[in-house]
A = this chain, B = another copy of it.
Amino acid sequence: MEKIDIKTTHRAELVDITAKIQAIVARAKVGSGACLIFCPHTTAGLTINENADPSVKSDMINTLNGLIPENAGYAHNEGNSDSHIKSSLFGSSLTIFVEENKLCLGTWQGIYFCESDGPRSRQAWVKVLKD
């Protein structure tokens, strides 16, 4: 397992980690296989989405904040219940195919670390399996 360090700078932020994941895949030299990515945090998640227009990221964050606001009379008293809920909606793991030592992504796809309770020092864990 390899670990990627991610430094987030806002409370809610989608950080593009595609290049870091691709570097691990290239080093693993499995040829054909699958790359597994895991988020070890309970107030952050992982997703795949558009890698071009940054307004997709802000629309996603703003829409989720509208549906699941930071303050809404939650029982959990650490002020981050919304972050826990968003973490479960994004999900904790991704599986991406690998061919010729490269991630197989669609044209417009990037891999994002979904911070929902930053800024913090975070990690994503990565394994590359051979077919």
- A residues bordering B, Cβ < 8 Å? 1, 32, 34, 36, 38-42, 47-50, 53, 55-56, 58-60, 63-64, 67-68, 72, 74-78, 81-82, 84-85, 87-97, 99, 104-109, 125, 127, 129, 131
Known: A56-B76, A84-B56, A95-B93. A42 touches B38 (CB 8 A): no
Q: Tell me the bound Cα distance from A64 to B59 in angstroms.
A: 16
Q: Tell me the bound Cα distance from A90 to B53 in angstroms.
A: 21
Q: Give the shortest distance, in Å, between A88 (CB) and chain B (any CB).
A: 4
Q: Tell me the bound Cα distance from A47 to B81 in angstroms.
A: 15
Q: Select one of B38, B77, B89, B94 contacting A93, CB under 8 A.
A: B94
Please state if B129 and A34 are interface contacts (CB–CB under 8 Å).
yes
Known: A59-B84, A74-B55, A129-B131. A94 touches B92 (CB 8 A): yes
Residues of B within 8 A of A53 (CB): 76, 78
Copies in the complex: 3
Q: Give the shortest distance, in Å, between A51 (CB) and chain B (any CB).
A: 8
Minimum CB distance partner of A127 in chain B? B97
